[in-house]
Chains A and B, each alone.
Chain A
Amino acid sequence: MATFINNNFIPVRLHVKKHPEAMARFNVDWTPTVLMVDSDGKELHRIEGFLPTDEFLAQLQLGLGHAQFTKKNFADAERQFRDVAEKLPGTDAAAEATYWAGVSRYKATNDGSALKATAEAFKQRYQSSIWAKKASVWA
């Protein structure tokens, strides 16, 4: 986990009592909260509350995917999302990652079959997730 964080982020740890100004600056009202922000301070992803290691790692990767998606790097975004779905399939983030991987493929190719394939994939996995419901319109 530490290696993943060091390789992908500039890590900053802020204690609520020592850095209350940072809490206000980033609209944080509860701990633990982990924010992913870009070099302009713009929030990219927010994780509120404790998560076990695999769920936390999945959320970090999901955030990296969303960061690439926001930059319109859709192929890189899809890679990040697929990585979550394939390497951490038992996490809650995997269903969301499956959804966004399909959207990223669609945005990269403008091929509607990417969305249909995503809806089909949800018939096999994560059927009860909200992401399966969101994808059902593509079936």
Chain B
Amino acid sequence: MATEAATQWTEDVDQALGESKKAKKALLLDFTAAPL
């Protein structure tokens, strides 16, 4: 049975901004109060 990959979350905004530039993808920032 095929299973979907998990979302590859990071917590470092500035590092993600750098990756965003290289990958030419937007950042998706998920602000949550739910237990992680």
Contacts and interface: CB of A to CB of B under 8 A. Distances in A.
B1 interface: no
Looking at B6, B9, B21, B23, the one whose CB has the most chain A CB atoms below 10 A away is B9
A9 interface: yes
Contacts of A11: 7-10, 27-28, 30
Given A16-B33, A37-B27, A5 B7 contact: yes
Contacts of B26: 8-10, 36-39, 44, 63-64, 67
B8 A12 contact: no
A120 B9 CA distance: 42
A33 interface: yes
| Size bin of chain A's contact surface | 35 or more
Interface in A1-43: 1-3, 5-6, 8-19, 22-23, 25-26, 28, 31-41
25 contacts: A1-B7, A2-B7, A3-B4, A6-B8, A9-B25, A10-B19, A11-B7, A11-B9, A12-B27, A13-B32, A14-B11, A14-B31, A15-B33, A15-B36, A16-B31, A26-B29, A26-B31, A28-B31, A31-B32, A32-B33, A34-B30, A37-B26, A39-B26, A44-B26, A63-B26
Closest 8 CB pairs of A and B: A9-B28, A39-B20, A39-B21, A13-B9, A2-B7, A35-B29, A31-B33, A33-B31
